[in-house]
Amino acid sequence: QQQVKQSPQSLIVQKGGISIINCAYENTAFDYFPWYQQFPGKGPALLIAIRPDVSEKKEGRFTISFNKSAKQFSLHIMDSQPGDSATYFCAARSYNTDKLIFGTGTRLQVFP
């Protein structure tokens, strides 16, 4: 019940295309859903986050879509660029802890 399931494991997208990464959870106590971007050999960087009281949040080319009833959330990267090539992790936090539960990551490759 504490798991966050992330898919796909890897994703190849043409430059200018849309990258979509999906996550699903079971624990209804989760109340905060961040996405992290990690380049090889670096620490993850907080990209964008959403709380369950909204269904969508957009920051530049990055959008989180949240479906509370289906317990799913996804990251959309519009106009994907080669510089977006990285590993992306979704995560979830329960309202009564400060711990994040991470998905297993998606390796995105954007080709010119």
* 7 interacts with another protein by CB under 8 A: no
Query: Is beta strand 19-25 parallel, antiparallel or unpaired with respect to 4-7?
Result: antiparallel
Pairwise CA distance, residues 22 & 90, whole Å:
8
CA-based nearest residue to 62, from 100, 91, 36: 36
Binding mask 39-68 for another protein (x = CB under 8 A): --xxxxxx--x-------------------
The window from 19-27, 34-42, 64-72, 77-85 that contacts another protein (CB under 8 A) reads: 34-42
Supply the minimum distance, in Å, between the C-beta of residue 15 and another protein: 26
